[in-house]
Amino acid sequence: MKTAILGTGFGKEHAKLFCHEKLVDEIIVWGRKPEKLKEIENEFGVKTTTDMDSIFNDASIELVDVCLPAKLHAEYAVKALRAGKHVFVEMPLADTVENGRKILETAKECKRRVFVDLFLQFEYPYQLLNQIKEDKRYGECINFNIRRQTPHWWGNLDSKNIALSLMHHDIDFALQLLGKPDKMNVEGRDVRPECSAVTAQMSWKNASATVYGNSALTNSCPFSVGFEATFEKAFIRYFEDGYQNGRTDTKLEIFSDEKQEEVKFEPQNCYQLVCHDVVESILQKKPSRLDIEHALLTLETIIRLNEML
């Protein structure tokens, strides 16, 4: 498959990932600055261009990867779809629900697919939890709590931005796990400039979930993620703490009436798995957890939560 990447920020990282994808045989990167493109050429051996129209007009390009600012996602995703390309979009899907719907409607009209980079679906602890939920090995999931906490390392994550920029993956995972909620409530506050703490509560007929985001940790704290899932016949918990010095502490445990089990697993490159899933899903015409329909539900949920704050 021939793939084009728009952008040289995240686009550079995506170029590196697609270079390791065996199903991709040619990559071209678009950018505005020739010096950045030259760096990417030299580092990865890919083609580059400053002429975006040459990408849309190239019938041999099957996939366009949009790694531009969120406010530009809809414009260029729609252009790519109308040019007959499938589209892979860096998260979030779009800056507004209206623009997200525009992308979806265009994809249906053009009979092309759109994928969103919600990589959490390809991290092993979350994959395992999905599998446990789907095969009902411990009965139904009745409560799910997921969190993401960080020092002030990632720019402005105040109460207006934290749900879209920090909690996005966790909200998406809760929705993928349990479906569209019947009720939602959100509480939060700005702790100091660009730092906030927000709790989103969701409920279903037979389940509940809490998604917590905190961008106000002190600098000595790790970047910390994790979840707790209560099933009818088991309790599962996971955490990962990443420190600035490169140290990582992680643990995944399953508690049932019969035993306590620590699940050992090797870290896997979820970003590489995302790229493979996108390409394979197109070539084999199979469904994907990254398909736009669910990403749009996540975006709609986040915008609604922001309005409730």
Q: Residue 140: inside a domain, yes or no? A: yes
pLDDT, one tens digit per residue, over 127-153 is 999 999 999 999 999 999 999 999 999
What are the helix and strand counts (H, E) for the chain? 10, 14
Inside any domain, residue 92: yes
CA 46 to chain centre: 25
pLDDT at 158: 97
C-alpha to C-alpha distance for 12 and 255, rounded to whole angstroms:
42
Same structural domain, 162 and 53: no
113 within some domain: yes
Q: Are residues 30 and 108 in the same domain?
A: yes
**Which of 123-130's residues contact partners 24+ apart within 8 Å by CB, and which partners?**
123/268, 123/270, 124/265, 124/267, 124/268, 125/227, 125/238, 125/252, 125/263, 125/265, 126/173, 126/227, 128/252, 128/263, 128/265, 129/177, 129/227, 129/229, 129/236, 129/238, 130/176, 130/177
Residues 181 and 195 in one domain: yes
Task: Tell me if the bond preceding 222 is cis, omega within 30° of 0.
Answer: no
Same domain, residue pair 187 and 104: no
192-203: pLDDT as tens digits: 999 999 999 999
CA 96, 82, 2, 12 torsion: positive or negative?
negative
Q: Residue 297: inside a domain, yes or no? A: no
**Within a domain: residue 114?**
yes
The rounded mean pLDDT for the chain is 96
pTM, entire model: 0.93
Give the model confidence (pLDDT) of 66-106 as tens digits: 999 999 999 999 999 999 999 999 999 999 999 999 999 99
Strands (E), the chain: 2-6, 26-30, 47-49, 61-66, 86-89, 114-116, 141-151, 183-192, 195-203, 208-217, 223-231, 234-242, 248-256, 260-262
Q: Are both 39 and 133 inside the same structural domain?
A: no
User: 173-224, pLDDT tens digit by residue?
Assistant: 999 999 999 999 999 999 999 999 999 999 999 999 999 999 999 999 999 9
pLDDT-based confidence at residue 232 (cuts at 50, 70, 90)? very high
**CA–CA distance, 240 with 38 (Å, rounded to integer):** 37
Determine, yes or no, domain membership for 302: no
Predicted pLDDT of residue 267: 83
Q: What is the mean pLDDT of residues 7-23?
A: 96
163 lies in the same domain as 248: yes
Q: What is the pLDDT of residue 206?
A: 96
Q: Is residue 182 part of a domain?
A: yes
Q: Which residues contact 145 (CB under 8 A, 6 or more apart)?
A: 209, 210, 212, 227, 228, 229
Q: What is the CA radius of gyration of the chain?
A: 20
| Residue 266 predicted with pLDDT over 90 | no
Q: Are residues 109 and 132 in the same domain?
A: no
Which whole number is the average pLDDT over 226-244? 97
Burial class (CB in 10 A: 0-12, 13-18, 19+), 27: buried
Residue 41 is part of which domain span? 2-118+273-291
Distance set, CA 91 to CA 37, 38, 42, 43, 158 (Å)? 23, 26, 27, 25, 18
